[in-house]
Each structure stands twice: as C-alpha cells, then as structure tokens.
A and B are shown apart, each in its own frame.
Chain A
C-alpha cells in the first residue's frame, strides 16, 4: 500500500502528548502509514506529479485508493510529440537551479524522451536501479525496459506504463464480406495482396493508412526489423538503408499498388472506420481510433486483433507507437518516495486496470486482470487477448529510443512524397540520410555501410 501522512494530521500527531490520545487520533485519521514513504510524507513536502489528460483515470484511481497521500497533481501536455516541454524546462532549470515546484515524477508520452533526458547534457533522471527491486524490473514485458528505459551505460531511467505494440486490426464482418472464409493474412505479401484485390473490386475500402508521420516508419519499417535507428553503443548509431529488411518491405509496398488506394493517404485519425477492413496499428487504436473514440466508429465488440504480419526475414517482430513512461527527477528532494510512487503507478493493479484506452500494462503480472476486462470491448476476446500479450513481447528492440523523433523526420522528409505518389523504395535512402543528420546534430557517431549516410554527403 501507498500511504503518506498529510500535513495537518502530521502536525496534530506531533503536538499530541498523551499516548492514548495519540493512538485515538491516529486511528481516527486513518493515515498512519506502514511503509517507507510515510516518513517522507511526514516532512509535509508533497510529491509533485505531472500527468496528462489521458491519465486522469489513473489519478482518480490513485486518489480513491490513497485518499490521504500528500501529492500535488499538475496537469501538462504529456510532452506530446514536437512540444518538448520537459526538454525546455529541464534545460532552463539546469542553468538557473531547480525550483521547489519542479516535478518529482512525470508521465511522458514519448518513448524516446527518457534516454535524452537521462543522458548528457541533461542527466536529469534518477537511476531507478537503486530504488526499484530487481524482481519488479524483470517483470516488464519482453524487451520493453531495455528498449526505452535503459541507457547504454546500464542505468534504469524510467518505468514503462503501457504497451503500444503493433497488431493487425481486422473488422471480421467486412473481411468475411470481401474475402469469404480465407484466413487473416500472416505475411506482408498476403496483407498487401488483399489490399490490391480491394483496389479494383471494392475501391474506397482500406487496409490501413500511410498518411501519418508514423505510418510507414513505425508500422512497416520498424515491424520489419529495418535497421535505420539502431543504437549500438554509447553515442553510436547504425543506420543501414541497404538492408533487405528495409528494401524488401518498401518494394512490396510499391509493387502492390496499394499506397494512395487501399492504404489511404489520409491520416488514420481522419479515415472512416466503417471503410476499414484491416489496419496495422498500435493496440490502443482498437478503441480510440476504430470503435468508440471516433464519431463514425464501428460498435464496440467489432474489431479483432491478430498478430502483425511476419517480417520478410521470416521472424515474428512488430513495431510500436506510443505507450507512456514514468520518469523520476534526479533533482527530487525525496527520491525514495518519488521512485516508490512511480513504481506504484506503473505496477499496481489498482492503477493498471483503469480504462482500456490506457493500453496493455507493460508490467506482466498486471496483464491477465487487464486483459480479462477487455472481454466486452473487442470481438473474439480470446484471440485479441492472446495477440496483445504476444505483441507486447515481440516489439523489435533494434529501433532504439533516440533524442530525436523518427516519426517527425519521416513527416518532414518523406511523407509528402509518398502521399504525392512517389515510390516508397525511393524514400528509404533520403530518410536514412535525414536520420543520420539528426543523429549528428545530437552528437552521435553514425555507422553505415552506405557512404552517403555515413558521410552526410
């Protein structure tokens, strides 16, 4: 349990002299804490926690379970893509000194942030290795902790909140209507061939979208283990656009003729879910984008998740988009309580079962209870649950968290070309070059077998 003594009661406790009166007060207030955090709370400095709007259910669940915890909740934008709120605040505070209202714990929606904020020149995140038990750290799904929360030097600088692994979302009603009893595709070639069939037979129906900065790079390149973002040591990144894992999937996309047709040029957030036969997307998209979250969404209980298509190299890997992190500030005045709070938020079943929109807990012991709560949310719950669990552990860990947005680079370098009709295969090298430029801007050494990428020419 997580309990702290709030300040007014703490004062009363300090003032009371008679033993019996003290005991009575303690029982009445019900706030005498059992574990370590209590002593910290008694100092009456609240933990300052920054959270985003999607985490409101977490906050409510926490408050209901721990009504007397001494916490100051501050709503911010979750460091949303491109805004860099934490980066700018931290940079300023590193120059001017950290104020007393700086956050102790932050929820961050950007998976690449932890590595940036936890390494030079920032170095502002607490190494949780010394605060969170090893057993807990080892209970996060697959390589998720390694992928976003571990620095090359081995520090643990965040805790994963939810998995945002990529799956193949299917609308079984539409699929049956167009493809009869054929099984759901399990390879990229089959998936894209279904799209090609729709292009001519049922134009307007979709197998996904390429209209966002994250579509091709996260859901196709990353999922296919294309090594364009692979950190291979401290400050060293390998970018290999000539890998068959990159060119293979790009050529498949081009030869299918699906881009701009059954793979919509529109953002996935603005396509009509009623027209979506399939989509490769993050597991949180099931509700938010296709069902209840969209005005034209299909009814709850429609969409079913299947594993993302097998990579062209024959391995079962998948991509990822989103999923949050719990960060603890190194400048916290109460690192022990802050770390304990972050651990509680990331692992407690009290928090991690709240709201399907939040996504599958990365903390494996919480997954079963969470998944069983999905039974009425999606069609074929046993398939969907098994897929989610499997996907959370199969995210390819060669797409490393880096202090720049790979989605942003695709958006500024390649998105307009692809939606404008240029072949995807022609975008791999420019994308790799732009990524290499961003890496050099951030002080990384770029290793690449392709000369233009290695030299920046």
Chain B
C-alpha cells in the first residue's frame, strides 16, 4: 500500500547489523555506507523532497506565507468527517489486527514445524491480493446476489449492494478488507520474531514449570513487543492514508462511497478534481503531522530504538 519496501528493508538491514554488534567477516564499512547512501538518495528524492514541496505549497498563499489553506480545508464540510471515518476504520482495524496477528503467531509458533509452514502459507495467501485487486474481490464478496457469503448478507437484510455499502458500514467494510490483505504478512513477520527467541530461554522457562500459556504471555510476548509496536507504526501510517479501496469502491458503486471519504481521497479530490493543489497539500501535511506524531509517540512509549 503506502509503506515502501525500500524503507522497511533498509530499516531491517540496519537493525540486523545493530543486533549482531560487530561486522561479519569479509565485509567492510564502505559497503555498508554504500548501501545507506543509496537509501539516503532515494529517501531524499522520493520521500523528503515531495514532503518539502507539499509543505511549501500548503504554506504559500496569495499574500505570501500563511496558514490560510489549512484554515480553508479545516472548514470544509468533508474535512472532519473524513478524519472521523479514518479514525473509526483504524480503531476497528488496528485492534483486530494486533489481537489476531499476535494470537495466531503465538499459536502457530507452538505447532510442529511442518504444520506451522502450512498454516503460515494459508494465513499469508489473502495478502497476495493487495490494494486494487482486493478491492475488486471484496466488492464481489459484499454483493448479496453474487457473494459466496450471501446467506450472511441476507441474514443482515441486505438484498442489494447499496444495502451493504451504506455509509455507516464503510469503516468495518474497509477494516475487513485491510485485515485480510495485511494480517497474513504480519503473522509471518511475528513468527520470524518469535523464532529469534533463543531456545535456551524457552527451555529454561519450561524447566522452571512454566505452562505453554505462561511461556507465551510472560516470555514470548514481551520479547516481540518491539515488533508489535513496529507493526502499529507502519499500519497506522498506511491506514491513515487509506485511498485505493474507497476510491475503487466509489467508482464501482457510482459514487455511493463519497469521493472524499478519507482524508487522502479529499486531498486527491482537491488537487485533481478541483485543481486546488494548495488546499490538497494542506490536507496532506495534516496527514503527515498526524502520522509523525503517532509514530513518535509509539516509538517513545514502546522504546522501539532502545538496545538491550
């Protein structure tokens, strides 16, 4: 969706290097700097420069520099609802994703290796259809006349697609879509994190009489805490920038999902349907600030960058 793999993998690379402490034999520091340099160049060109441009656009007014575009957009009738929609969506999605991902990863980790491989693959499969593909598949799932889950939709008295896609249902509709596309990948990552826990530690706990449940809650969970925070930081940013799913559903339902449902859609609408780039930039900067604030909060409270 929004998070660039480049950034994630670069961060992981640095983390891996940091955890091991020293440099593996046969590598030099220059190679490391080389890789970081490539990342920094890409980050500056594709991450920092557009952000700076957006800030400049948002602050430049006809009378010089000012906050009028922020005030303007804040007063748009769609502004507050768009943020409310996304807050509701993130509330449902982040909670359910965190609970199920951690729970399933812990359960899979207790299984025998061969069985757990099969389960991880099954969990991961829905994630293969990301973004637009998942939106199209879920559109089909939500249509009472065509869905394999029609009996559930009929049970809710939904006879036509416009019943399912009613405004009050949208946050949960997008949360379900996001959950199935994202959860599998995170289960695999959490499983990897669990595998990093030294066997001696778990054996020691078992020798001391710790049950499977106690081991999971008292030993494993605290040791993967940073990974959970990491998941939350990335998921929050991705979720607050929700765009593809509502946009496709809006087109597919001929506008039943408003074109300004999420803040990112509002920004897109302002820029590309109203030719008002300054206002669009102001909404984007709002999103950037919120994303950064939440990330800083989570990193700080979750002690993400502390080295034990």
Contacts and interface: CB of A to CB of B under 8 A. Distances in A.
A and B held together in a complex: yes
A242 to B, nearest CB: 21
A415 B251 contact: no
Q: How large is the interface on B (under 10, 10 to 19, 20 to 34, 35 or more residues)?
A: 20 to 34
Interface string A289-310: 0000000000000000000000
A91 B271 contact: yes
A82 interface: yes
B254 A94 contact: no
Contacts of B166: 416-417, 420
Interface in B246-296: 250-251, 253-260, 271-277
Interface in A402-446: 403, 405, 407-409, 411-413, 415-417, 419-420, 437, 440-442
B77 interface: yes
Given A211-B160, A408-B258, A84 B273 contact: yes
B254 A416 contact: no
B275 A265 contact: no
A223 B294 CA distance: 51
Contacts, number: 91
B275 A416 contact: no
Interface in A84-103: 84, 87-88, 90-92, 94-95
Interface in A200-214: 211-214
B304 interface: no
Interface residues of A, number: 39
Interface string B46-84: 000000000000000000000000000000111000000
Given A441-B76, A441-B78, A416 B273 contact: no
B255 A416 contact: no
A432 B159 CA distance: 27
Nearest to A408: B255
25 contacts: A81-B254, A82-B250, A82-B259, A83-B251, A91-B277, A92-B272, A211-B160, A212-B254, A213-B255, A213-B256, A270-B145, A403-B273, A405-B255, A408-B254, A408-B259, A409-B255, A411-B254, A411-B255, A412-B255, A413-B167, A416-B163, A419-B160, A440-B77, A441-B76, A456-B77
Given A83-B251, A90-B275, A412-B257, 20 more contacts: A82-B255, A87-B272, A88-B273, A91-B273, A91-B275, A121-B274, A211-B162, A213-B255, A214-B254, A265-B159, A265-B160, A270-B145, A408-B259, A411-B162, A411-B255, A411-B256, A412-B256, A416-B162, A419-B162, A440-B77
Interface of A: 81-84, 87-88, 90-92, 94-95, 121-122, 211-214, 265-267, 270, 403, 405, 407-409, 411-413, 415-417, 419-420, 437, 440-442, 456
- Nearest first, the 4 closest Cβ-Cβ pairs linking A and B are A408-B255, A416-B166, A88-B272, A411-B255
